[in-house]
């Protein structure tokens, strides 16, 4: 039986596990000698083959190694360039996203500012209607010398840059709150 090519398996199946281990212990020196002889013969064949054709074997191995190394270096350079291309693409994509978000934020801020201005002017109109002399809570203040006059010229101009219309001065919110508190106290 060829010990190396299935011999131990056949022996194990034929005699059983316990008998196989007992046989292996009894004949260990013989088995070891057979294995060493086989290894020695294989090594001898390898050395003799290498001695007969050293240039051919080495040259083939050297060309194979060179091809493999050049392929690996090409792969590395491809991977390096591919990596940097991906990094650049990611940076460009990130910059585009940043610009889009900044544009959206600018639009939102402008809309918000517009709505705030609209609300402020709307509230100012409502307050003016409420405290007008014919409104629900009319405020009439006594003219004071250092205060602005109650009437003023209209800002719209006629022909020859003339202002022909007189209109009542709009009250400021500070004047309104002061006038309201003054009337409440009386």
- Give the pLDDT mean for 78-91: 87
Instruction: Evaluate whether 133 touches 140 at the Cβ level (below 8 Å).
Output: yes
Q: What is the pLDDT of residue 178?
A: 54
C-alpha torsion 166→168→173→176, nearest 10: 160
pLDDT, tens digit, for every residue of 57-71?
567 777 888 889 888
Q: What is the pLDDT of residue 90?
A: 93
Give pTM, 2 decimals: 0.32
The domain spans of the chain are 1-52, 139-186
pLDDT, tens digit, for every residue of 86-110?
889 999 999 999 999 999 999 999 9
pLDDT, tens digit, for every residue of 110-130?
999 999 989 988 988 888 888
Distance CA 120, CA 135 (A): 20
Phi first, then psi, for residue 167 (nearest 5°) are -135, 160
Q: What is the mean pLDDT of the chain?
A: 78
75: pLDDT strictly greater than 60: yes
Angle at 70 between CA 66 and CA 74, to 5 degrees: 170
Please name the residues in contact with 11: beta carbons below 8 A apart, sequence gap of 6 or more.
1, 20, 23
Instruction: Evaluate whether 146 touches 130 at the Cβ level (below 8 Å).
Output: no
169: pLDDT strictly greater than 80: no
Q: What is the pLDDT of residue 92?
A: 94
Q: What is the pLDDT of residue 145?
A: 53
Top-confidence residue, 132 or 172: 132
Distance CA 45, CA 47 (A): 6
171: pLDDT strictly greater than 80: no
């Amino acid at each position: 039986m060829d010990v190396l090519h299935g011999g131990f398996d056949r022996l194990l199946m034929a005699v059983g596990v316990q008998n196989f281990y007992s046989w292996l212990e009894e004949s260990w020196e013989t088995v070891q000698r057979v294995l060493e002889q086989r290894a020695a013969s294989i090594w001898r064949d390898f050395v003799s083959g290498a001695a007969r054709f050293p240039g051919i074997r080495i040259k083939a191995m050297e060309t194979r190694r060179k091809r493999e190394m050049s392929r690996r270096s090409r792969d590395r350079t491809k991977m390096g360039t591919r990596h940097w291309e991906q990094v650049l693409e990611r940076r460009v994509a990130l910059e585009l996203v940043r610009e889009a978000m900044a544009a959206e934020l600018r639009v939102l801020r402008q809309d918000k500012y517009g709505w705030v201005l609209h609300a402020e002017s709307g509230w100012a109109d409502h307050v003016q209607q409420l405290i007008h002399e014919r409104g629900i809570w009319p405020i009439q203040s006594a003219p004071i010398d250092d205060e602005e006059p109650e009437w003023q010229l209209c800002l719209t101009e006629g022909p020859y840059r003339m202002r022909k219309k007189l209109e009542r001065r709009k009250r400021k919110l500070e004047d309104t709150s002061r006038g309201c508190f003054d009337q409440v106290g009386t």
